[in-house]
Amino acid sequence: MSSLPAGAVSRVGGHWGPVHRRTLDTTVPTMAGLLFDPAVGHAYENFRVAAGDVDGAHMGPPFMDGDFYKWLEAATVAFGVTADAELGHLIEKAVDVITRAQRADGYLHTPTNISQRQSGTMNELDDRVSFETYNLGHLMTAGCVHHRVTGSRTLLDAGIRAADYLRRLVEDRTDLIARSAICPSHYMGVVELYRTTGDPGYLRLATDLLAIRERFVGGDDNQDRLPLREQRTVAGHAVRANYLYAGVADVVAETGDRDLLELLEHLWSDAVNTKIHLTGGCGALYDGASPDGAPEQSEITRVHQAYGRPYQLPNQTAHNESCAAIGMVLWSWRMLLVTGDGKYADLIERILHNSLLGSIGADAKSYFYTNPLRQARDLPYPLRRAGDTAINPVPDPPASDARLRQEWLSCFCCPPNIARTLAEMPYLAYATGDSTIWVHQFLDSDAELRLAEGRFTISQRTDYPVSGSIRITVGVSQPTPATLRIRMPGWAEEPKLTINGSTVDVIEAGYGVIERTWSDGDEVRLVIPMRVRKLTAHHLAEELTNQVALVRGPVVYCLESTDLPAGATIERVLVSRDAVPVEMALPEDWAELPALQLSGLLAPAQAPGALYSELATADPQPVELRLIPYAFWANRGPSEMSVWLRLAW
Ligand SMILES: [Zn+2]
């Protein structure tokens, strides 16, 4: 199936309406303020220096060009909706300086371009972890999106020049480019160029780039310890893994390579069934070694923000970079388009509603880099959390618990990735095949779809996931045959699907299937019971055993200490297996989603400070608990928080 073209999805409302609107109206412009300000982001300034507009030096991490392109992609999508003149002006400024900074042969990586302009000391691809292919890949993707939205070829041509540069490297300096595929966004970028231009040379470039990976043997930190086709488990850096496999899935989508598809299905299942958090967070460990526990120690390499062992899912020290969850959306979306299997859309939904939405504040301009499932007081060691606390320690207590989202992160890869994903999120809701309309996500919106047989409009009305009621009205100018496939979530219990009141009972791979000649005004209704479920975890997930998490529909809940009585701490809370959660309105103005109120127990406080102490045996006391959607935590000041709660059987 294919994604919908730019402009095909409109009038986003319901639960996602305010989120989408805030992304366009607040996230994108405030981020521009940071990235265009030399005193803060220096991203735009780096291009100005590289273009020779001003004197100066490169500042910021080597991947900041790519992060600027991700903002540009988000801004372009936002401009396509709002037509905001000021934003349009910023986009033009960005495109102009990017094209002028780019070398005639297509190379563009501002640290090197600036060095070459000023002293000639730095050669391209000298440092394999300088993220050049990551940057160039995002340039290609931004160029394609910019062309689709605006019709302009300027940025697209810059992307084409970048791809042509890679082509020459593949032919002339194969080993150099083979070792430079760090955090590879360029496989996705090159395939997107193929789709945009129709030039099969770019698809060949993608397959060539994948084939030459084997010429470099590195470590699991960049998934190049083993040749791609020999990989059986996901390992190492979760962003890099998910970007790689998303790019491979793009190649599979265009080549139909069944061996690679089987490989990807296996790897995806390995990740989803054993290594990702309930919130959809990917990359559970801050740092590790891989292959972990290998008999030959010489084979072990250092990895960071790693997938870790199966079932190794710590809560408090969960890394879960926001970009890793987004990478999983990219990977799963491509798997979905190739296979039509609803399990991929189920995971996308889980990430969107939890990990992704939790990575941005209710103010739409503060961000998490890491996304733990638990936060506790008095952590005696630094973690690379929002604001890189290891590098820039937060102030002394009591503010030391204030590991909240931040507006500026010294490593700014996540915020523009969050921005572009939320800006483009409506396009995850639909897709088309030759004669098939796919509804993947429940999103109050209108969509225009063109099939081989004719044009359709889809009006989806829903407050999902506030309720599980979805109403879709189909619009056609004349009776037209087509199949509509609508997702029946894998977690849903007895969802009811009807067409004009008649029950639909054909379900294939997680989709209700309605094949008919459609008349204007035909109405599809899906009703999904939204019972609160209490989930437990696999017995090998040792930090999760004998605990319970509450989930309502796709939304994972958490307990924040803000909602506990004074003096109560999060680890003392116990939830009975038969506690009945009651839905109540959230007083905060975040969303229409309910809070969950239930009776719990508060265990006696244990002796503080000591590593081990004798069990305090006083009776637990009743306590009323209020759980909020995980995505909304850390919006009310510093707090302790936990998704998983101790189970009092
Ligand atoms: Zn990131």
Q: Give 287-327 pLDDT, tens digit per residue.
A: 989 998 889 988 899 999 999 999 999 999 999 999 999 99
Distance of CA 564 from the midpoint of ligand 1 (Å): 32
Distance of CA 414 from the midpoint of ligand 1 (Å): 3
Residue 399 has pLDDT above 70, yes or no: no
Distance of CA 193 from the midpoint of ligand 1 (Å): 24
pLDDT confidence of residue 281: 98
Residue ranges in 186-341 assigned as alpha helix (H): 186-197, 200-211, 238-255, 258-274, 322-339
Distance of CA 539 from the midpoint of ligand 1 (Å): 31
Averaged pLDDT score across all residues of the chain: 94
pLDDT confidence of residue 294: 87
pLDDT digits over 264-283, tens only? 999 999 999 999 999 999 99
Residue 515, beta-bridge partner list: 483
Residue 401 has pLDDT above 60, yes or no: no
Distance of CA 417 from the midpoint of ligand 1 (Å): 7
Distance of CA 320 from the midpoint of ligand 1 (Å): 10
pLDDT confidence of residue 400: 42
Distance of CA 418 from the midpoint of ligand 1 (Å): 9
Distance of CA 323 from the midpoint of ligand 1 (Å): 4
Distance of CA 221 from the midpoint of ligand 1 (Å): 15
What single string gives the DSSP state of each residue in 585-626?
A: E-SSTT-SPEEEEEEEEEPPPPPSS-SS-PPP-PPPEEEEEE
Q: CA 351 → CA 179, 333, 421, 484, distances in Å?
A: 31, 12, 11, 25
Distance of CA 387 from the midpoint of ligand 1 (Å): 12
Distance of CA 369 from the midpoint of ligand 1 (Å): 6
- In the structure, what pLDDT confidence band is assigned to residue 389 with cuts at 50, 70 and 90? low
State the first-to-last Cα distance of the chain, in angstroms, to the nearest integer. 47
What is the percent of the chain where pLDDT is above 90?
87
Distance of CA 348 from the midpoint of ligand 1 (Å): 18
* Beta-strand pair 436-439/430-432: antiparallel
- In the structure, what pLDDT confidence band is assigned to residue 410 with cuts at 50, 70 and 90? confident
Say which residue, 118 or 202, is predicted with more confidence. Answer: 202
Is the N-terminal amide bond of 398 cis, ω within 30° of 0? Answer: yes
pLDDT digits over 573-595, tens only? 999 999 999 999 987 877 789 99
Distance of CA 68 from the midpoint of ligand 1 (Å): 13
pLDDT confidence of residue 385: 65
Distance of CA 481 from the midpoint of ligand 1 (Å): 44
Distance of CA 239 from the midpoint of ligand 1 (Å): 8
pLDDT confidence of residue 15: 95
Distance of CA 7 from the midpoint of ligand 1 (Å): 27
Distance of CA 59 from the midpoint of ligand 1 (Å): 18
pLDDT confidence of residue 388: 53
Distance of CA 103 from the midpoint of ligand 1 (Å): 27
The 8-class DSSP code of residue 425 comes to G
Distance of CA 452 from the midpoint of ligand 1 (Å): 39
Say which residue, 41 or 599, is predicted with more confidence. Answer: 599
Distance of CA 381 from the midpoint of ligand 1 (Å): 22
Distance of CA 49 from the midpoint of ligand 1 (Å): 25
Residue 518, beta-bridge partner list: 480
Distance of CA 386 from the midpoint of ligand 1 (Å): 11
**For the chain, how are helix, strand and coil distributed in percent, rounded to 5?**
40, 20, 40
